[in-house]
Structure 1
Amino acid sequence: MLSIGKLSEAAGVKVPTIRYYEQIGLLPEAGRSTGNQRLYGPAARDRLAFIRHARDLGFPLDAIRDLLGLSDRPDQPCAAVDSIAKAQLLAVEGRIARLMALKSELERMITQCAGGSVADCRVIECLGSHAHCTTDHGRDLAEVSE
């Protein structure tokens, strides 16, 4: 049995994250020692590793919840799992397309800058008004960088 600290080390996940995952039901509530310390077995460690890997791949928590539910029923067809993974791939491809548009716009702004004074700076001018941009690089790109 692992304490929450040992589980944290084993899975590479911070203790507050483990508590949060318990709170939202991604991890089952831990058993307790006689001293009321949380204790976790190998199944909790494996489930936490699954969650962490899914998060590393960008899956949202709701999708992870669905995937965990499906993995708890291994006799079911994997079509639902495939559907969730395909939806995540489409989301990643969308973010990549928005990032490429952002990259293109930044490159264009920098290329058009004559290197003179700030008063004549094309970068400052473009940042001052989205109308100077040639692409709709999207306002939701701030989400990608946060």
Structure 2
Amino acid sequence: MWSIGRLAEQAGVTVKTVRFYSDRGLLPEAARSSGGHRRYGPDALDRLHLIRSLRTLDLPVPDVGRVLEQEDTLGDALEGAIEGQLRELGTRLTALRWREAALRLLTDCTAQERAERLRLVGALSTPPDTTPLARFWRGWLPARLPARVVSAIVEQAVPSPPDDPTPAQVLAFARLQAFVSAPCDGSARFQPEAHRAGRGYRPAVLYDGLAEAYALASDDVRAGRAPHRGEALDCFVAAHAGALGTRDTPDFRRSLGPRLAAEPRLDGYWGLVAELTAPPSGPREPTPGATDDWLRAALRTAA
């Protein structure tokens, strides 16, 4: 039997450390002396070394306790604790990379630009939070749209911020957040005509059809082909016709172009998304906004 001082000396830690782990049940004492002092058995040193190793990995004390319950196998509890630490570490590293890119953004600019950028970057959390973007789209979409359609649109419209951003990507995300957080003054957050109640539109039909049209046009947009007639345009027009309860006719196509051109647009939003999600090299993946622009141009070309 070792005293608490002897165990601490052998393990190279302080008596306070041994007492801390003992009081939390991680290092059970084997007995008490006649004077009430703690006594530890022969396995205590190995267990204390194991505790210290786990704590070196920054495992919280409760996680250490769960691992020690499976000390003989060091099985699922240790694996789960390590996975949790890796996730937390990844989050911290991402936050540091965003902070570094934000600092670089503030160094390579004029004094006037620096003031604006500081205001934008100062409103960001690290790592960045896309909740405001999702909230914006859920508020912008028409009421009573089926949940599956809303989820699909939000998933496609809200970009995933890169883990290792460039300064330009930090600026793009900061401007995105400022855009969706602007006061509802009738210009920043608008409801297009197709979203307004009582206008005769069926938004669920419109957005189901647009998703299909965008998928059909994406290869052409990605390859940089000029807008043209074809299956994607037919699907695009059919989506708008179906939403209005009418048919795709030459007259409808002629009237559709001006109607769409008069609708409010989110070009600025999609431009910032394109900057944020641009790959280091190679072609950019087309955003829904870019695909919609291509289809509108194809409609004008075919008119």
Question: Structure 2 length as normaliser, TM-score?
Answer: 0.35
Partner of 2:122: 133
The 1:54–1:107 alpha-carbon spacing in structure 2 relative to 1, beyond 3 Å, is farther
The 1:87–1:41 alpha-carbon spacing in structure 2 relative to 1, beyond 3 Å, is same
CA distance in 2, matches of 1:29, 1:83: 28
In the alignment, which of 83, 96, 101 is matched to residue 99 of structure 1? 96
Contiguous gaps of at least 5 residues in structure 1: 115-121, 139-146
Contiguous gaps of at least 5 residues in structure 2: 128-303
1:30 and 1:40 in contact (8 A); partners too: yes
2:10 and 2:45 in contact (8 A); partners too: yes
* Cα deviation 1:26-67 (Å, max 9, x = unaligned): 111342234433222331111111111111101111111110
1:105 and 1:133 in contact (8 A); partners too: no
Partner of 1:42: 42
User: What does residue range 76-115 of structure 1 map to in structure 2 within 5 Å?
Assistant: 78-109=75-106, 111=107
Partner of 1:56: 56
Question: Structure 1 length as normaliser, TM-score?
Answer: 0.65
Q: Report the RMSD for the aligned CA atoms in angstroms.
A: 3.3
Partner of 1:32: 32
| SS of equivalent residue, structure 2 residue 69 | helix
User: What does residue range 10-29 of structure 1 map to in structure 2 within 5 Å?
Assistant: 10-29=10-29
| SS of equivalent residue, structure 2 residue 59 | coil
CA distance in 2, matches of 1:9, 1:107: 48
CA distance in 2, matches of 1:60, 1:71: 16
Matched pairs, number: 126
1:95 partner letter: R
- The CA deviation at 1:16 is 1.8
Partner of 1:9: 9
Report which stretch shifted further, 99-108 or 13-22: 99-108
CA distance in 1, matches of 2:64, 2:44: 15
- The CA deviation at 1:2 is 2.8
Percent identical pairs in the alignment equals 38
CA distance in 1, matches of 2:104, 2:48: 41
Report which stretch shifted further, 21-30 or 5-14: 5-14
| SS of equivalent residue, structure 1 residue 58 | coil
| SS of equivalent residue, structure 2 residue 49 | helix
- The CA deviation at 1:5 is 2.0
2:29 and 2:40 in contact (8 A); partners too: no
Partner of 2:68: 68
Structure whose CA Rg is larger: 2
Partner of 1:141: none
- The CA deviation at 1:100 is 2.5
- The CA deviation at 1:135 is 4.8
| SS of equivalent residue, structure 2 residue 43 | helix
1:105 and 1:135 in contact (8 A); partners too: no
1:105 and 1:137 in contact (8 A); partners too: no
| SS of equivalent residue, structure 1 residue 39 | strand
